[in-house]
Each structure stands twice: as structure tokens, then as C-alpha cells.
Structure 1
Amino acid sequence: MAEHESRRLNESPFGSGRDRKGRMRGTKVSPNGGYSTVVETRALTATGCGAESEPRTPASKGAEGSGVSGSSRIYSVTRGHLVDIRDITVGEIVQGAGPDLRPVAGRVTSVEPAGTRSTYATRLSNGSILTCAPGHQFMTPVGWHETGDIRPGDVMAAPWVYIPPAGVSGRPRASVAQGRILGLLLGDGYLGQAADIDFVGASPELHISFSQSVLSAFPESTFRSIVRERGVVTTMVSGGTVRGGVGGTPAGGLLTWLRELELKTPRGEKSAGGSLSDTKFVPKSFLEASLPVIQELVGALWDTDGCIFRFTKSPEGRGATYKTISIQLAEDVRFLLLRLGVPTSISQLPYEARKGSRLAYQISVTDTVRFAEMLNGHLHHGGKAAEVALMAGLGKDMHSRARRLGSHLPVGIIQDLVRESGVSVRPVFEAAGLPRAMMSRAGMNHVGYGNQVRLALALDSPKLHRLTAVQWVKVVSQEAAAADELVFEIAVDGVHSIIVNGVAVRTLER
């Protein structure tokens, strides 16, 4: 992208939502010079929109137009996985945010091209990027705001969880053993050559787990192991007939299953092989699987390529990350974790390989309390399993950085909610046990999830309780994406927002 095409948010060309000093309209200047949203004049209504917001119809779009990029990803509850908005069909069920900001499902009534527009990519602190026209609206704590009204440090609503699929009851269901096999092979499996299926690693527990899971799902399988340098073992699977103790037939039912999942190429193709490390993915039948299957799959992924680490010397300070060089697998793992109610962030990590510079994708868990709760008992690697068990035992006693770390609510909004209730800020913040720095807008800019909950309890504020139903993800930057891109609008029956690329955006209302 040319340098002159790239704009940071504080250089946004869409100034219609700002006054001449660059402040968002509907804000006031605090005595210390900071800005705060005027909750009294932009009341939080039951729909999550500011009171001044009118339903957006085709006749009332912003001057620059609205719509999201056709490649934007929406969670289809009907299909059980993410789908490009241009591929969504009328009648599908998608996820949005309800009047209480909690997840709801609604039926799509229309998906329409909205014409070609200039588009801008808004980058969020959790690594997500949403590309849309300048007039499209995001959900903020004080209502809907167009892209042009967004600045770095502003926040957008994102769900804590993806709701269970609704349209998969008649499809073949994956088993728990298959979930573990898939996770181990996506992590440390070699699938790239002919009919070979190899599991490679140095952990004896994982080789035992792999063999037992394969035998459970495909009883005809046999195995042969080779010990390589540094104690690394390769476990090779065959279909049950070993010739001379050297080789065996292709891996029978396991091979057929992997071909059905499209992780191995169909039989007879010249380019026989399968997915390599940078092309691995989670098949759709596992994205829509039951939670026990997902728990076993994600546990196996963490057994192989996941990491449990400490960020403090105390046992309460633990975190979890997962790394892959497949961008599709990274998206799939984030989706599976959100199915489990585990929010994450994603970052790119450049590294040098034999063929030059490459990118790895690191997924960082932002709620390790929930992570441990959902995955305890589903890891088989000795050290990692013990760490997760310890984390699960600590539960809510874990370090504050381990609980819903990714939610950031502007402190000014909370202060205004406190004043709106007719009490002073200081006693409420003191009752919640929060530091004095939070009492001043010049001190701390955002309040994390744990402190949001403490303040909501201290204030007994339904409005603040409601705001904790979603995570508030900070805006990092905005850049020009395309000068002329086809964008799409979507309407959903009874739902005024949908989750697009992980954040809540406005639907078309009729």
C-alpha cells in the first residue's frame, strides 16, 4: 500500500463526527482537559445504541456510504463455522448482540451488494481487522458510531463466546477420539507425502495418546516407531498388514478418513500427499462439533504446539499461547476457542526459514481462567497437563492478568455512570478497592474486566453490569484498504447487530 494511501485514525478524512478541535461530538471537556462521553445526552438504551441514533435504512446511510468487505467473516450458526458475508444466504441464522448485549441468533432476511466504495481497515488490539466503507457503524459503549468517528483508544464490542450451532443435527458427528487424533496430527503430524501418516515428537505420553486414540477410532491400524536424533520418535500408521516387519499397507480407515476431511489428497491423484505445515486447517465438521470433541481437539493442539508460561514468580501468574505458520489454522483455532468461551488475540511473528523470511501466527489467550476450566483433563503432555490442572485449581484466585484481559472500558464512561447515579466517584472506586489513579481521567484511560465487575457491584448499576456482557476491544489504527471495493449490507430479523470479523457491527434495518 502506498504511503500516501495509509492513514492513522487520528488523520482520518471522515470528519463529520468531530468538532473543529477534533473531539467526538457528544463529548465534553473535563476540568483536567481530558474528554469524557456525555452519558446523560447519549443515554444507553435497551438496544445498545445512543438515544440520538435513528435506525439506519437504505435511505439514511452516511454520505460516504456503508457496507462491509465481501471477504468479511460472519459466524453462521446454521453451518457452524465462519462464512464470507458474500456467501451468506437468506434464511441462515447468524450471531449478533441482543438488547442486553448478550449473544443472540437471528435469521438473515437479505444480503445485498451495497455498491463499490472506498474502504478502510480498522485494526483492533486483539489482532482482528475489519474492512468496511466509511459510513458503516460499530457498536461502542455509548451507541453506534461510524468508522469516521473512531479514533485510537476507542473501543468496540466483541462477544465472549460463539453460541452452539443450530443446523448440524442431521450431519455425521465427530467422536472425541477423532478430535484428539486430528489435534495431534495438525500439531506434530506429517501428512505431506503419498499415503504416509506419521506422528513425530519426543513426548512418550503423546505417542501413547496418539496410538490409543487411533486404535479407538480405527481398530485395524498397526504402528511402527523409529527413534531419531535427540530422542525424537516417529510413529507411523499402517492399515494392519505388515510385510516383513519393515513396512505396511496404507493406513486403512485413518487414511480414508483424512481424505474425506481433505487433509490428504484423494486416491489416484498424481500430486498424492496432503496438507503441509503452512496449509493445515480444521475441517468444517470439527468447527461445528460438540464441546467435548472441541475440548479434546484443542487440548491436543496445545499438547503439541501450545505453550503454558509464567509471567510472574507466583503460581497465580500463568498464560497460554499457541503458534502456527498456517494462517487458516490460526483462524480456526481462534474460532474453536471462542466456541469454548475463551477469548484470544492474534499477532504476527516474522522469522527466518531456509526459504527466506516467513510469518508465524501466535494466538494469545486473554482469559486463562476460562481456558484452564475448559481444558483441564484434556491435555496429555505431562508438564502442560500439570500446569493446566494447577491453573484450574487456582481458578479465580489467578492473577488479574489471567481473567478476561482483552476488555478495556474507558474510565470516563464509568465515571459518568457513577455521577449519573447521584453519587461521587471517590467512594465508589474506594469501595471497589481500586487505585486512586483511576479516579482521575488523567490517571488511567481504561478499566479492565475485573475492575468493571467490581465497580458494577459497588455501584449496583444495571447499565454497568450490562456493559460487562461483551468485551471492549481497543482500536489501534485505521488504514486505507481499497479505493473501489464492492461492499455488502445484511439484514437480520429482530437483531440490530451481527458479529463480523469478531466485532459487533450494525445491520441494515427495514
Structure 2
Amino acid sequence: VAASLDRAEQLIYTIGERRGITEFMPVSRLMKDAFDHIDRLFHMRGDRTGLTSGFRDIDAMTTGFQPGNFVIIAARPGMGKSSFALNMAVAAARLESEPIAFFSLEMSNNELIQRLICAEARISMNDMRRGNIKQHQWEEISRAMGLLNELPLYLDDLGALTVSDVRSRCRRLKSMGGLGAIFIDYLQLVRPGVLARNSNRNEELSEICRTLKMTAKDLNVPIVALAQLNRGVEIRSEKRPMLADLRDCLAGDALITNADTGARVRVSDVVTARLRFNVWALDESLKMVRRPILDAWDVGRRPIFRVTTRSGRTIRCTEGHRFLTPSGWRKLKELHAGNCVAGPRRYDAPKWTVNALTQEQAVLLGWLIGDGHLGGSAALTVSDDGDARIAVELAKREFGLRPIVKPERHDTPALRVVLTTGRLCGAGKNPLTSWLRDLGVWKTTGARKRVPDVLYGQADDVVAAFLRGLYHADGSLSRFGESTRLNCRLSTISEQLARGVQHLLLRFGINAFVRSESRHIGGYRTTTKALWTVSFTERQAVVKFLSSIGFLGTKQEKALAKLVPVKTNDSSHYDRIPLEINPRVRALRQAHGLSHAGLGWRDQGKRMSRATCGMLALRLDDEELDRLAYSDVVWEDIVSIAPEGLETAYDITVGDVHNFCVDGLVTHNSGSLEQEADVVAFLYRDGYYNPETNEPDLTEFIIAKHR
């Protein structure tokens, strides 16, 4: 109802203003207004062409607050935000001679009037509250009241104010006698016009800011909103606020995927190199879409926390960074172990490929990283003659080599394929060695192994070939005892290789688990190394793996033989719908008058499968269930949140949807207040933190953003 009333009022206001609702306006029709505006500025030329702040230096820096501007003035409690805004409102009403609207959600009109009188009469507010007024001060009070009485200043102290109320009241005020500016004290107390299902306070504030910005444009007046900063200011030695205090952010090593090229880029590099590219993000339908980075910045040193999910995905961020949960966007400090957060189920292939590899090159590369010797003469250890023949043929065809096959050791049937040219050609002349060096993998061994950067930008068939070679070397497919359940597993002592493989598997919709443990590792014979495993047991994932990736030669044949054609047991409880959706299904069942049998589902306190959710969406005709059943996200349980100390942190702004995928999880833009604002300023009083300061009453006005 509130939304409908707001739209109706907007339409009436638009008709009253005689403005057409059109998509486009010809430039020719805009030229006269533009010239008139420039001419007006020419005749007004000076330090200020917009609404005055009442402070000469601020007007000189901002040229005044322009019509349509959304201005945020933020500070910690006790810095004098309300008094500062009241002084600005009085100055604007006095000098602009247009009505000024002041919304106070914190103080009553009576308290506001007392503050205004004290400011004009230059009387202490504490003295007035105590009635400690001297005889000569009555004259100043009378003078102040007379002055204020003549001002076109309108106060509103409704405590439960919605953003729709602000729009509605200001439209009426402007239609009656014009409007010069709007002041709001303060932003976090304003409520959204319409409470969306599953929305939280972060989303509401973002929507409030967007609505206020649109209101400023519609009414063609500046809106000045006060905002309260978080406690991040208190924990650092330098107490002066900065834009970072309106943002929450990521550690510098967080990896963001370039959705066009597939490259994985550190967020710190995005900032330092001023990189701009499309990233993967979620739209309102929970589908993966490409969206551009609009801005990126260093927000200074912040306390960092490591978040680990059930599948082993990790992300390092500040406590205020927001994650997508079944109940909407929530800050990390509001989450704990057991809560669900969203991650991507799959990534599409990049739009274009740089330095394309052949499938044969990719197979050999993966095989070498798994079982190869990448120093001196390149060599590959294989299990039998069949594998040796495959390796020899690949090396001949792709690099023109003449490999030599010899026994690995006398006590093992393994063979060693030495990938040589067959002649003394000197350092750097072996084409395979030169190629591996160019890819950055030459002489990388043990824990230093990784997925070469070039692989992330390859087509799906080339990525599949690389994984085929790697899994043929270090992977396995085994049954759980006598059951039909299968476990596809890759083992390595390199964490970065394991996490790179986990990321590449998302190309095929395979969500794998990464885990580590200490144990004896083959020839290393040590328990000091961590063995990292990449594994998945879900039957659909195993089928996808064997059909799209698989192994080489007889190993693939044996793997296919283990796959029972008919599904008999798939006990994986991964990639299921969060429990939070169950109450919705119960309510819908009752609303439709269905029995449990009629619906085909009973709430047993378990997470339902995506297939069940899709069936329920069809039977209950519910869009939300349909959206969840066919979404591009997987809901991950958090298993731990651990502090990791102070580090330099970074953040980015993404267009349109204001979220992005990083380190395998979906996170939101920070700084939602700042994004919509044309001007962001802070108030700071050193005397609040340092009682010994020489200027305890001095307030600094810090302009941090001026669009």
C-alpha cells in the first residue's frame, strides 16, 4: 500500500510540475536551459553557486551544495552533528529565503527550538536546561526568537519516519511555497518505505540512500543527511574519520576472477594497477552475470578475519564485510559457525582467450605438474608401458621431441620418460623446457606447484585436458567399501595447486572439497608436510567428471567400470537448499490447504535437495522457491571464523548489482552510504579524545568525497 501511494503521489507531483515522463530528451531541447544556467552562474560568479552551509571556507571548497546533490555528513557520537546541521539549516533559511525542511528522528521539536535559541543567543545549552539564565541574556534570547520566528524553517520530529514520508512531505512543502533544502538527522534511524522479505538493515540503508538521491533529483534540491560512523574509528591511533570508516573490506590476497578473460587477480593489484574489468556477480534472480568494476581503493589497516566454509573455501576480510545469506546480506560480525553463505556453483568460460593452448599441450602440462620432474632434463614418471606410449606420442607431436623411456628404479615397475630432443642442444634449446619456463612452472616443485596462470583463461576443453593430465598423475576414483558411492580425489602437498584445481572444477559445475592433513607422503617420508586433497562424492559431480574430464588410457576404463549405471545411493548432502526456507514451504502448504501427502514433502528439519525445491515450486506456484531451485549459487556452511591481526585492506565497487564473487564466495560492495552520495564529509573534535588539547572546542570539517 505504501509503495502504491508513493508512486501515485509521484505521478501527481510530476503532472503538477508539467514534466513529461519520457525515456529520452533531445539535446536540442536542453540547450536553452543549459545556456540559462551557465548565464546565471556567470552573473553569480563567486565562491558559492549552490546552497550555503553558513561557513565561508566550506562554501569555497564545495561552491555550495548544488540542487540534486545528496550530501552525507558523518561522525562518531558526541562530535556535534545535530548542532552543526541546525546551524547550516538556519544559515540556509536566512540567506536563501526559501523553505528549509529539517527532519529530526532523535530529538523533539521542543529540544530543537531550544538548541536554535541557544545557538543564536550564544547561551550554553546546559545553562538553559538548568534555568541558569542571567538578566542580560534575556535580551539575547528575545532577539534570537524574533530572528528565528521570521525564518522559513520547518521542523519535523516524527520518530518513526520512513523514506516515503520524507518524499511525501517534501513534495507537499515544495508545492505550497517552494523548497530550498532538506536536512535529515540521522540516516540510520530512517526506515525504508517498503519492508522487503528477507531484507536486513544493510540492504535497507542502501535502498534508503538510493531513494534519497532520487528524491534530491526529483525535487531539484540538495539533501543533507547526517550519519553515524561505526566503532572502527575507536580502535586505531589516528581518530580522524576517513572514507574507510563507511566501508568494510578484503585482505590484499583475495582473488577476484576477470569474467571476460578468466584471469584471477589479487584485489591489491586491482587497486595499485587501477585495473577495471568485468567480474562475476549475482543478479536478482540469483544468476551469475558479468558486471564491471567501477572503483577500487585502499582503506588502510584493519583487523582481518579468516572465514572457512565446509567445502574448504576461505576468504579473509574485515568484520563488517557482507555475505549473501538465506536471510539477505549480513555482515561477518553477525555470522557464526553453522550459518549459510552463498558461493558460485559454476563459472562460464571466458569470452576470449589469450595464448591459447592445444588440448594435447594442456594434458602434458597437467601430467608434468603432477608426476613430472621440472628441473635439468624434464622427465615424467609413469606407471606402465601404456602411459609411456601416450607421453612419448604427446611430446613428439607437440614439441618435436625424441623421448627416452627407461626404468624409474629397479624395485618398481614405474617408468621414467625423459623428454629430450635426442641430441645435445644446449641450455634453453629444448622447446618443452622453454615453454614451461615461459609458463612460469619450470623448477616449481613440491609445495610451490600451482595451476599456471595461463590455464584460467583457456576454453573449457583445454581446461578439461589439463585436469585430465593432472588427475591421471595424482588423482583417483575409489568406492566406499561395498557401497556404490564413489570418491573422486586429487592429492598434493601444494595448497595453492589444490585451491586452483577447486576453482577450475567450477567450470564444469563440480563443487569440490579442499582439506588438509598431516601424514606420510609417498617419497617425501615426512609428517611435517600437509597433504592437501581435492575431493567430491556427489554422484552427478562424478558423472560430470568422467564425461568431461576423466583420466587417460586404461585408468579411465577402470574408472568407468566402477560407475554403477543405475543410481542406488547418493548420500551427499552438499548443494542443498538452506533450512531457512522450510518455514516458507510450511506456510505455503497451509495456505493452499494441502496435506503432507498431497504436497509430497514433510518438514523433518533437514535441508531439501534442489530437485525437491523445484518440485515444490511447481506445485505451490512460488517464484521464490523456483529462484532457489534453479539458482547459480551453492549454500555453504561456515565452519570457522578466526582473527588474523591487522593488515592493509581493500575494496571495490561493482556496477548495477553491487556484489561480486571473491575466493569462491559472493560478497557485497561496501560503502553503500558513500556510493550514492555526491559529497561525503566528516566532523572531528580532537578535544573529545584528547582532553589536554589546546583547542578543545575546535571542530574539523573534513571533505572526503566531492563528486
TM-score between the two structures when normalised by the length of structure 1: 0.77
Hey, what's the Cα distance between the residues in 2 that align with 1:432 and 1:464? 14
Change (3 A) 1:201 1:90: closer
SS at match of 2:447: coil
- Decide whether the 8 Å contact of 1:418 with 1:459 is kept in 2: no
- Decide whether the 8 Å contact of 2:263 with 2:457 is kept in 1: yes
Using the TM superposition, give the Cα deviation of residue 51 of structure 1 relative to its aligned residue in structure 2, in angstroms.
6.8
Could you tell which deviates more after superposition, 113-122 or 293-302?
113-122
Of 104, 127, 130, the match for 2:289: 104
Using the TM superposition, give the Cα deviation of residue 407 of structure 1 relative to its aligned residue in structure 2, in angstroms.
2.3
One-letter amino acid of the counterpart of residue 558, structure 2: A
Hey, what's the Cα distance between the residues in 2 that align with 1:280 and 1:347? 17
SS at match of 2:336: coil
SS at match of 1:179: helix
Aligned to 2:552: 380
SS at match of 1:401: coil
Q: For 1:171-320, what aligned pairs fall within 5 Å after superposition?
A: 171-191=354-374, 193-194=375-376, 196-226=377-407, 228=409, 229-241=411-423, 252-264=430-442, 274-311=443-480, 313-315=482-484, 317-320=485-488
Of 286, 306, 311, the match for 1:121: 306
Hey, what's the Cα distance between the residues in 2 that align with 1:323 and 1:59? 51
Hey, what's the Cα distance between the residues in 2 that align with 1:424 and 1:156? 30
* Alignment partner of 1:505 is 2:677: no
Aligned to 2:502: 334
Hey, what's the Cα distance between the residues in 2 that align with 1:497 and 1:156? 14
SS at match of 2:412: helix
Hey, what's the Cα distance between the residues in 1 that align with 2:599 and 2:639? 29
One-letter amino acid of the counterpart of residue 76, structure 1: N
Change (3 A) 1:307 1:356: closer
Aligned to 1:351: 519
Hey, what's the Cα distance between the residues in 2 that align with 1:423 and 1:505? 34
Aligned to 2:657: 495
SS at match of 2:644: strand
Of 129, 146, 152, the match for 2:331: 146
Using the TM superposition, give the Cα deviation of residue 197 of structure 1 relative to its aligned residue in structure 2, in angstroms.
1.1
Of 252, 265, 272, the match for 1:70: 252
Using the TM superposition, give the Cα deviation of residue 63 of structure 1 relative to its aligned residue in structure 2, in angstroms.
4.6
Using the TM superposition, give the Cα deviation of residue 181 of structure 1 relative to its aligned residue in structure 2, in angstroms.
0.2
Aligned to 2:622: 461
SS at match of 1:409: coil
Using the TM superposition, give the Cα deviation of residue 450 of structure 1 relative to its aligned residue in structure 2, in angstroms.
4.5
Deviations 1:354-375 (A, max 9, x none): 4551101111125442343244
One-letter amino acid of the counterpart of residue 342, structure 1: I
Q: For 1:409-428, what aligned pairs fall within 5 Å after superposition?
A: 409-420=577-588, 422-423=590-591, 427=595
Change (3 A) 1:393 1:409: same
Hey, what's the Cα distance between the residues in 1 that align with 2:562 and 2:598? 31
Using the TM superposition, give the Cα deviation of residue 84 of structure 1 relative to its aligned residue in structure 2, in angstroms.
1.3
Of 280, 294, 298, the match for 1:95: 280
Q: Aligned residues: percent identity?
A: 21
Hey, what's the Cα distance between the residues in 2 that align with 1:347 and 1:318? 17
Gapped regions of structure 2 (runs ≥ 5): 1-193, 210-225, 233-244, 676-707
Change (3 A) 1:356 1:350: closer
Change (3 A) 1:103 1:505: same
Change (3 A) 1:318 1:459: farther
Hey, what's the Cα distance between the residues in 1 that align with 2:228 and 2:487? 46
Using the TM superposition, give the Cα deviation of residue 335 of structure 1 relative to its aligned residue in structure 2, in angstroms.
1.5
Structure number having the greater strand percentage: 1
Aligned to 1:364: 535
* Alignment partner of 1:486 is 2:648: yes
Using the TM superposition, give the Cα deviation of residue 49 of structure 1 relative to its aligned residue in structure 2, in angstroms.
9.7
TM-score between the two structures when normalised by the length of structure 2: 0.57
CA RMSD of aligned residues (A): 3.2
Deviations 1:377-405 (A, max 9, x none): 742142444324764955xx363335xx4
Using the TM superposition, give the Cα deviation of residue 119 of structure 1 relative to its aligned residue in structure 2, in angstroms.
2.2
Hey, what's the Cα distance between the residues in 1 that align with 2:302 and 2:641? 16
- Decide whether the 8 Å contact of 1:319 with 1:368 is kept in 2: no
Using the TM superposition, give the Cα deviation of residue 225 of structure 1 relative to its aligned residue in structure 2, in angstroms.
2.2
Hey, what's the Cα distance between the residues in 2 that align with 1:207 and 1:427? 63
Deviations 1:175-213 (A, max 9, x none): 00001101111111111x32x111113233322221122
Deviations 1:409-465 (A, max 9, x none): 33242222441465479845x46755x5xx24xx43x33444444443443432122
One-letter amino acid of the counterpart of residue 160, structure 1: R
One-letter amino acid of the counterpart of residue 268, structure 2: R
One-letter amino acid of the counterpart of residue 347, structure 1: R
Aligned to 1:400: 570
One-letter amino acid of the counterpart of residue 238, structure 1: T
Tell me how many residue pairs correspond in the alignment. 439
Could you tell which deviates more after superposition, 297-306 or 378-387?
378-387
SS at match of 2:575: coil
Deviations 1:210-233 (A, max 9, x none): 112212211243323225322111
Hey, what's the Cα distance between the residues in 1 that align with 2:654 and 2:387? 45
One-letter amino acid of the counterpart of residue 291, structure 2: G
Using the TM superposition, give the Cα deviation of residue 249 of structure 1 relative to its aligned residue in structure 2, in angstroms.
9.3
Change (3 A) 1:62 1:161: farther
* Alignment partner of 1:43 is 2:213: no
Using the TM superposition, give the Cα deviation of residue 347 of structure 1 relative to its aligned residue in structure 2, in angstroms.
0.6
Hey, what's the Cα distance between the residues in 2 that align with 1:499 and 1:142? 18
Hey, what's the Cα distance between the residues in 1 that align with 2:644 and 2:609? 31
Q: Which has the higher contact order (CA 8 A, sep 6+)?
A: 1
Deviations 1:71-98 (A, max 9, x none): 1111122442322111124421111111
Using the TM superposition, give the Cα deviation of residue 142 of structure 1 relative to its aligned residue in structure 2, in angstroms.
1.8
Change (3 A) 1:226 1:61: farther
- Decide whether the 8 Å contact of 2:321 with 2:668 is kept in 1: yes
